[in-house]
Chains A and B, each alone.
Chain A
Amino acid sequence: MAEQLYWEDVQEGTEVTALAKNATTQQLVRWAGASGDFYQIHYYKDFALGNNLPGLIVHGALKSAWLGQLVGDWAGNEGIIKSYGCSYRGMDIPNDDLTCKGVVTKKHVDGNEHIVECDIWLENSKGEKTTPGTAVVVLPSKN
């Protein structure tokens, strides 16, 4: 695991360490089984095509879980995620090189909490931000 990140280590504009993902259709099935989302557009191609989709698509909630991993990995296990969320603006497809990214937009202290706010997003191999969102984390302080 990466070394623990501290509040003092980040500034507005600091990038969140990127996380690369590429979902095989098998991973979509594993996610379906782990979460319980068995909507067929994620594993049954004919069904997806019949719903006017280009083919199988990646679950929105899986993308959301990856963004949670992005923020959790970056904040480290001494950091705490207070909130995060994302919007599913564009569809993502299996076997595409996807990247979860983020950037610090604000840092402040609220009571005892050293807070960092970030924009986060998932982008596809063309660089399109299909899944933008935000996150608020509490990082440990060196002081």
Chain B
Amino acid sequence: MTEDSVITDEMKAAIGVESEPSVYEIEKEPIRRWAESIGDSNPLYRDEEYARSKGYRSIIAPPGFMAQYAFPVKAGGGGRSFRSPFTRMLNGGNDYEFFKPIQSGDTISATNKLAEIRERTGGMGKMLIIINETTFKNQDGEIVAKARSTGISY
């Protein structure tokens, strides 16, 4: 770290600290509404009989649904908070890994942590690159998905 680093001890201490889980009950209608809103007519996301014919228990969530759906039945809060010297935030990117299908009827627990924090100097001056990682587990404790989001604080 250089002397004028904007990365503080508070930020370093926040890395890797897991949040309390947020809990989601996966239901058919929010999945269908999601698919409608992006314009995806895949029957896996709306037709239970069709989904069963493909070996699933019920309709499944589209890729990315879990990481972006913001209506938990119980909110766990984020990882440990820290102060940024910057006030503006941009969404830099989203990356998802999928291990098991997420199906209607599942109860998903999501824990979040700050995975990485870097600083960079760009056209707008100094900025912080903040990478958060969320792990999603189903009711059987199996990891179904992981998501990484990159935030740019500037």
Query: Which residues of A line the B interface, CB within 8 A?
Result: 1, 21, 27, 30-31, 33-37, 60-62, 64-66, 68-69, 71-73, 77-78, 80-88, 133
Contact = CB atoms under 8 A, between A and B. Distances in A.
B68 interface: yes
B68 to A, nearest CB: 5
B37 A60 contact: no
A141 B95 CA distance: 26
14 contacts: A1-B42, A30-B36, A35-B70, A36-B69, A36-B70, A37-B70, A62-B38, A65-B62, A66-B38, A77-B42, A81-B98, A83-B95, A88-B90, A88-B92
Given A34-B30, A35-B69, A36-B69, A84 B63 contact: yes
Contacts of A83: 95-98
B64 A33 contact: no
B12 interface: no
Contacts, number: 95
A64 B97 contact: no
A69 B63 CA distance: 8
B42 A61 contact: no
Contacts of B64: 61, 64-65, 68
B96 A61 contact: no
Interface in B55-80: 62-65, 68-71
Chain B interface helix/strand/loop/mixed: mixed
Contact of A30 (B30, B37, B69, B93): B37
A36 B63 contact: no
Given A64-B94, A77-B44, A86-B94, A31 B37 contact: yes
A90 B103 CA distance: 33
Contacts of A82: 97-98
Given A34-B34, A35-B69, A69-B62, A27 B39 contact: yes
Interface string B17-40: 000000000000010011011111
B22 to A, nearest CB: 12
Contacts of A62: 38
A59 B27 CA distance: 24
B54 interface: yes
A31 B43 CA distance: 19
Contacts of B91: 60-61, 88
Given A31-B38, A83-B95, A72 B63 contact: yes
B98 A87 contact: no
Contacts of B38: 31, 34, 62, 65-66, 69
